[in-house]
Amino acid sequence: MNYAETTNDLAGGRLTIDLDALAANWRLLAAKAPGAECAGVVKGDGYGIGLERAVETLGAAGAKTFFVALPDEGLRARAVAPEAAIYLLGGLFEKNGPALAAAGIRPVLGSMEEIGEWEAFCRASGSPVPCGIHVDTGMNRLGLTLDEARALAGDPARVEAMGAKIVISHLACADAPGHELTALQITRFSEIRSLFPGLKASLANSAGVLGQPGAHFDLLRPGIALYGGQAIAGIDNPMRPVVTLEARIIQIRNGNAGETVGYGAMETLKRPSRIAVVAVGYADGYHRRAGSTDAAPGARVHLSGFDAPLIGRVSMDLIAVDVTGIPESIARRGAWIEMFGPNVPVDEVAERAETIGYELLTGLGRRYRRSYLGGKG
């Protein structure tokens, strides 16, 4: 999805996307495994920042390989990066081999049915056409079974004829330090990798890059960490924030102790309060469950050196914030509040909303004014 880059001042919310931070995050991750290549995962519209901008910036920083989820994302990436290797994690849709090959997009084949279809396409083409092989080592989502992978590896001529360039798997629990499945997946993938000696091996996602050196292999596939999100639970996040979401205060109102705020009367004011109503809501991708109730506090926001809590439910277009005690010259109509960014980590908001930073970033809506800082590596 392409978003217009507008400079108008009519939006209720605005996104500032720091492309220099994106490039710096890629370099930090690449340095974790200097013997491996560091790719860039740009699916989900570049985790919400705009796929074309993500590809352009990461390519200028040094990335030569990109991973997308869907064919349309691959076409968009190819338009920006004509020389890059672009892999399609979603695999081969039925009978779309010719279209992928024409665009130089490499499907990562995750079933024997897909492999059979790709082989037939390569035979019809008269030569191998580059692709990848996905092996399931414990995720139970996409990928060949271990036995299927072993059987395929036993026929090297077949692997060469189908144009395979990489073999990948995906870590299920690397974001949870010490999880036993991670070690098991690394062991299984090490065996599979040894059966495909001519192919690059790729296992490490963001959490694998940062916390599992044994998972690095030949090609790193960081995603969320590139965009500033927390990849591993319970540790300090070393990545620079890339996205700052701000919302405009459209009204300041006074509330009395004992009155309630918002839909469902879920939160009662404990004192005379100043309430800032801001022009962002769940229609913009700011999750409803980030709101506050009498039973549980919601997310916080930041305004010119002051933190302030959400109060009441998040509405479709509006959020209420308790700005009692913040100077009126700061908490005023027309001021901008940071919903997440350098002062309020996106993952903190996600935790309050009982979700993850991935969902907040990839769900950012169409109504924001977007601006970009830096870029080109």
- pLDDT one-digit tens code per residue, 244-292: 999 999 999 999 999 999 999 999 999 999 999 999 999 999 999 999 9
Is 165 an annotated catalytic residue? no
Per the annotation, the verdict on 43 as an active-site residue is yes
Instruction: Please determine, for residue 3, whether its predicted confidence score (pLDDT) is greater than 70.
Output: no
Rounded average pLDDT over 40-60: 97
8: confidence class by pLDDT, cuts 50, 70, 90: low
The one-letter amino acid code at 176 reads A
Q: Give the DSSP letter of residue 69.
A: S
43, 227, 286, 368: the active-site residue: 43
Burial class (CB in 10 A: 0-12, 13-18, 19+), 355: middle
Q: Is 316 annotated as a binding residue?
A: yes
CB atoms within 10 A of CB 96: 15
**Catalytic residue of the set 47, 64, 95, 263:** 263
Alpha-carbon Rg of the chain, whole angstroms? 23
Query: pLDDT tens for residues 154-203?
Result: 999 999 999 999 999 999 999 999 999 999 999 999 999 999 999 999 99
Q: How far is CA 227 from CA 17, 49, 74, 346, in A?
A: 10, 8, 19, 10
User: For 352-360, what is the mean pLDDT?
Assistant: 95
